[in-house]
Amino acid sequence: SVGSACTHFYCSCWKKLFRLLGNNNNQINTRQMSGFVKRRRALNINGTRLSVHTGQWVISVGNPSLDHVFGGGFPIGSIIGIGEDKHGSYSRVLTKYFLAEGIVSKHPLLVGTLEEDPTQLIEKLPKPVETTTLPEGTTEQQPETMRIAFRYNQQAPVDSEQKSSTALGHYFDLSKTISSTTLHTQDITYWNGDEVKGNDADFEGSFKNPHYASLLSYIQRKASEQQFNSTSDESAKNVLRICINSIGSPAWYDKNFCEDFLRFIVLLKAIVRNTLSVCLLTVPLHLFTHLDDIYLCRKVRNLFDFSFDLEAFTGQMEEQANPIFKEYHGLLNITKIAPFNSLASFHPKTRDLAFKLKRSKFVIEKLHLPPDIADDDSGTKNPVPTLSCAGGGMKSKLDF
Structural domains of the chain ordered from first start: 53-130+159-366 (3.40.50.300)
CA–chain centroid gap for 94, Å, is: 9
SS3 6: helix
At 222-276, the pLDDT tens digits run 999 999 998 877 678 999 999 999 999 999 999 899 999 999 999 999 999 999 9
Query: Can you give the pLDDT at residue 38?
Result: 45
Query: Can you give the pLDDT at residue 392?
Result: 53
DSSP codes, 49-105: EE-TTT--EEE--S-HHHHHHTTSSEETT-EEEEE--TTSHHHHHHHHHHHHHHHHT
Query: Can you give the pLDDT at residue 185?
Result: 93
Q: By the 8 A CB rule, do 246 and 85 touch?
A: no
Q: What distance in Å separates the CA atoms of residue 310 and residue 288, rounded to the nearest whole number?
A: 15
Q: How far is CA 205 from CA 196, 210, 226, 265, in A?
A: 13, 9, 28, 16
Query: Can you give the pLDDT at residue 117?
Result: 92
Q: What distance in Å separates the CA atoms of residue 270 and residue 101, rounded to the nearest whole number?
A: 24
Residues lower than pLDDT 70 in the chain: 1-42, 131-167, 196-202, 204, 234, 317-321, 369-400
* Mean pLDDT value across the chain: 80
At 141-196, the pLDDT tens digits run 444 444 555 555 555 445 566 665 566 889 999 999 999 999 999 999 999 988 76
Backbone angles phi, psi at 139, to 5 degrees: -75, 145
User: Is-above-0.95 flag for pTM?
Assistant: no
Around 48, how many Cα atoms within 13 Å sit in the side-chain half-sphere?
A: 24
The two beta strands, 74-75 and 126-128, are unpaired
Q: By the 8 A CB rule, do 103 and 185 touch?
A: no
